[in-house]
């Protein structure tokens, strides 16, 4: 059916949810709904949820909870809980949000339109959390092209079968399945034609892409995408350390568009914790993989995920994690306090760590990393980095106005994913410009275009 009205899509959580929300928006547009950023105008509200940590889950309930009052004044408003919390809660979601209309699990997107029709014709409380072996396919069209968005996410696979003991993903995203490479290439080609210059390929463990289905391997997929005209940069996340292959290392080294950056979540520096997490590698194995990688790609930028306060993590285990940070010197980290998820096995592990202690460890870890992030940035002063221009900087550097009348302060990212600000008269979104780095800050760099006069 076709309807008229406005749709508001609110996304919580990871990059995959950002991608999924774009697909939900495409469905809504094909049903006649126009996208809006104004919640007051909305006739349908979709909250695409995340359940990886307690806080994200609470955010979803509190966002959707507020529509109880609004729906009294606006009874035709449709509210939808989509994604991981929907998958996890199913019809239990109505206990906390009685006014909810649709609970749409992670694998139910292809039936979303049908559920909207059902609600429109008077059906109450639709729940769809059925599993599916397919990934919902919808090619981008003009409704989702935005010329200011030169970087986009593209999901290449979904689900996970690694069963790390702290993680809900295998339970809410289902078993691992990969998209057809032809569909991926078609989607990225369309994005490139619409002006996208950078894609980030998404999957819970990209190293195992295509293995189950007997498709091409992940390095082969990278080689295919490397050929797409208009795409300048390829990023990907996430790699699992236990499966990082030499072929992937060679692909990073040899394929010109694949960025010189790897996100390789380590989670902990302690062997006893890694074992309890079911990560499938030891601290030594992880360090060796990094060594193999650096031998082939000496300047590679590295980032990681860390969890502190996993059940039974002792002070010494935590110091092992701190020491791993010192040993590897990551460019950046994402660190989290362990969050107990009732559907993941670690929820029942003994010796859960006190919340205050977890936060204290998290702060210590972040403070230590701050030093390395700053040091890595300082090491770049004097070097030339290729920057993909993303737009004008939100906040201008002090004294910027004095350096030249016709200049704009622009911003972009280096291959290593560092934010670089620079003055320019001509730079446009999507351009690649060589910037000589002049100053380093904790979270960004400042430089000027090589060949231009020296602005200061
Ligand atoms: N508690 C804290 N962090 C978690 N992550 C996954 N599950 C949990 C949890 N229960 C983190 C991991 C993962 C990242 C996406 O989220 O570090 O790599
Ligand atoms: Fe979760 Fe582990 Fe799978 Fe990553 S690899 S999604 S942490 S179970």
Q: Please tell me the distance between residue 53's alpha carbon and the centre of ligand 1 in angstroms.
A: 7
Q: Which residue has the tokens 């989670």?
A: 267
Element (H, E) at 13: none
Q: Is the pLDDT of residue 1 over 60?
A: yes
Query: Structurally, what CATH architecture does the domain formed by 151-378 represent?
Result: Alpha-Beta Horseshoe (3.80)
Exposed / middle / buried, residue 121 (Cβ in 10 Å: 0-12, 13-18, 19+): exposed
Residue 34 forms beta bridges with which residues? 6
Q: Which residue has the tokens 């590698």?
A: 281
Closest atom of ligand 2 relative to the 205 alpha carbon? 5
Other CB atoms within a 10 A radius of the CB of residue 334 amount to 12
Q: Please tell me the distance between residue 95's alpha carbon and the centre of ligand 1 in angstroms.
A: 27
- pLDDT one-digit tens code per residue, 265-318: 999 999 999 999 999 999 999 999 999 999 999 999 999 999 999 999 999 999
Distance spanning both ends of the chain, measured CA to CA: 59
> Which two three-digit tokens encode residue 245?
């292959």
Q: Please tell me the distance between residue 163's alpha carbon and the centre of ligand 2 in angstroms.
A: 6
Task: Give the whole-angstrom CA distance, residue 153 versus residue 21.
Answer: 11
CA angle 290, 293, 294 (to 5 degrees): 85
- Beta strand 233-237 with 261-263: parallel, antiparallel or unpaired? unpaired
| Protein residues with CB under 6 Å of any ligand 1 atom | 52-53, 166-167, 265, 267, 305, 307, 336, 338-339, 341
Q: Please tell me the distance between residue 164's alpha carbon and the centre of ligand 2 in angstroms.
A: 6
Task: Give the whole-angstrom CA distance, residue 136 versus residue 127.
Answer: 18
Other CB atoms within a 10 A radius of the CB of residue 371 amount to 13
Average the pLDDT over 106-121 and give the result.
96
Could you write out the DSSP letters of every residue in 226-241?
HT-TT--EEEEE---G
Residue 361 is given by DSSP the state: H
Phi, psi of 388 (to 5 degrees): -90, 120
Q: Are 80 and 47 in contact (CB under 8 A)?
A: yes
> Which two three-digit tokens encode residue 374?
């700053």
Task: Give the whole-angstrom CA distance, residue 335 versus residue 299.
Answer: 23
More confident residue, 399 or 94: 94
Q: Please tell me the distance between residue 336's alpha carbon and the centre of ligand 1 in angstroms.
A: 7
pTM of the model: 0.95
Strand, helix or coil for residue 9: strand
Give pLDDT, residue 394: 81
- Beta strand 157-158 with 177-178: parallel, antiparallel or unpaired? antiparallel
Task: Give the whole-angstrom CA distance, residue 410 versus residue 450.
Answer: 15
- Beta strand 419-424 with 384-392: parallel, antiparallel or unpaired? unpaired
Dihedral, 279, 280, 282, 288 alpha carbons, nearest 10 = -110
Task: Give the whole-angstrom CA distance, residue 326 versus residue 9.
Answer: 41
Residue list, annotated binding site for [4Fe-4S] cluster: 14, 50, 84, 160, 164, 167
Closest atom of ligand 2 relative to the 279 alpha carbon? 2
Instruction: Give the least confident one: 153-167, 191-205, 333-347, 391-405.
Output: 391-405
Q: Which residue has the tokens 């205050």?
A: 356
Q: Is the pLDDT of residue 451 over 90?
A: no
The residue nearest atom 2 of ligand 2, judged by CA position, is 164
What ligand has the least distance to the C-alpha of 166?
A: 1
Give pLDDT, residue 10: 97
What ligand has the least distance to the C-alpha of 310?
A: 1
Q: What are the structural domain ranges in the chain? A: 5-128, 151-378, 384-449
**What's the full length of the chain, in residues?**
456
Give pLDDT, residue 357: 98
Residue list, annotated binding site: 14, 50, 84, 160, 164, 167
Average the pLDDT over 402-422 and give the result.
89
Domain 384-449: CATH class, spelled out: mainly beta
Q: Is 344 left (phi over 0), alpha (psi -120 to 50) or beta?
A: beta
Query: Structurally, what CATH architecture does the domain formed by 5-128 represent?
Result: 3-Layer(aba) Sandwich (3.40)
What ligand has the least distance to the C-alpha of 172?
A: 2
Is residue 238 reached through a cis peptide bond, with omega within 30 degrees of 0 on the bond before it? yes
Q: Are 168 and 343 in contact (CB under 8 A)?
A: yes
Give pLDDT, residue 328: 97
The residue nearest atom 16 of ligand 1, judged by CA position, is 52
Exposed / middle / buried, residue 419 (Cβ in 10 Å: 0-12, 13-18, 19+): middle
Q: Which residue has the tokens 């934010």?
A: 419
Strand, helix or coil for residue 375: helix
Q: Please tell me the distance between residue 335's alpha carbon and the centre of ligand 1 in angstroms.
A: 9
> Which two three-digit tokens encode residue 18?
């950002």
The rounded percent of the chain whose pLDDT value lies above 70 is 98
Q: Which residue has the tokens 């592990």?
A: 349
Task: Give the whole-angstrom CA distance, residue 284 versus residue 264.
Answer: 15
Element (H, E) at 422: strand 419-424
- pLDDT one-digit tens code per residue, 2-19: 898 999 999 999 999 999
Question: For residue 411, what pLDDT band results from cuts at 50, 70 and 90?
Answer: very high
| Protein residues with CB under 6 Å of any ligand 2 atom | 160, 162-164, 167, 169-170, 204-205, 240
Which residues are within 8 A (CB) of 75 and not within 5 positions of it... i.e. 6 or more apart? none
Q: Are 422 and 410 in contact (CB under 8 A)?
A: yes
Give pLDDT, residue 452: 59
Packing angle between helix 218-226 and helix 181-193, nearest 10 degrees?
30
The residue nearest atom 17 of ligand 1, judged by CA position, is 305
């Amino acid at each position: 059916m076709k309807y008229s009205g406005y749709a508001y899509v609110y996304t919580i959580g990871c990059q995959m949810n950002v991608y999924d929300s774009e697909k939900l928006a495409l469905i809504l547009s094909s049903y006649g709904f126009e996208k809006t950023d104004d919640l007051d105008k909305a006739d349908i509200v979709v909250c695409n949820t995340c359940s990886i940590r307690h806080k994200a889950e609470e955010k979803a309930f509190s966002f959707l909870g507020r529509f109880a009052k609004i729906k009294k004044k606006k009874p035709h408003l449709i509210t939808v809980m989509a994604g991981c919390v929907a998958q996890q809660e199913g019809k239990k979601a109505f206990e906390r949000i009685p006014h909810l209309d649709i609970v749409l699990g992670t694998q139910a997107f292809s039936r979303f339109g049908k559920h909207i029709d059902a609600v429109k014709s008077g059906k109450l409380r639709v729940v769809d959390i059925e599993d599916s072996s397919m990934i919902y396919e919808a090619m981008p069209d003009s409704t989702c092209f935005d010329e200011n968005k030169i970087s986009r996410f593209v999901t290449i696979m979904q689900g996970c079968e690694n069963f790390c003991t702290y993680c809900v993903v295998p339970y809410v995203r289902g078993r691992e399945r990969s998209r057809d490479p032809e569909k991926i290439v078609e989607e990225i080609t369309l994005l490139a034609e619409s002006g996208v210059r950078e894609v980030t390929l998404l999957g819970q463990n990209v190293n195992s892409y295509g293995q189950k289905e007997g498709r091409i391997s992940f390095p082969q997929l990278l080689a295919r995408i490397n050929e797409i005209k208009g795409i300048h940069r390829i990023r990907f996340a996430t790699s699992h350390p236990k499966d990082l292959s030499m072929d992937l290392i060679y692909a990073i080294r040899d394929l010109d568009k694949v960025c010189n950056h790897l996100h390789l979540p380590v989670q902990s520096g302690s062997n006893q914790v890694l074992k309890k997490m079911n990560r499938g590698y030891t601290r030594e194995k992880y360090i060796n993989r990094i060594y193999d990688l650096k031998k082939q790609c000496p300047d590679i930028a590295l980032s990681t995920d860390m969890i502190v306060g996993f059940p039974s993590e002792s002070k010494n285990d935590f110091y092992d994690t701190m020491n791993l940070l010192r040993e590897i010197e990551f460019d950046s980290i994402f660190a989290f306090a362990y969050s107990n998820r009732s559907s993941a096995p670690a929820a029942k592990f003994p010796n859960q760590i006190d919340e205050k202690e977890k936060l204290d460890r998290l702060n210590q870890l972040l403070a230590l990393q701050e030093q390395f992030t700053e040091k890595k940035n300082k090491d770049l002063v004097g070097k030339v980095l290729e920057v993909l221009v993303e737009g004008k900087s939100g906040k201008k550097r002090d004294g910027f106005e004095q350096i030249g009348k016709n200049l704009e302060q622009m911003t972009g990212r280096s291959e290593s994913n560092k934010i670089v600000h620079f003055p320019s008269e001509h730079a446009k979104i999507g351009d690649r410009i060589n910037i000589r780095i002049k100053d380093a800050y904790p979270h960004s760099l400042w430089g000027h275009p090589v060949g231009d006069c020296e602005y200061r």
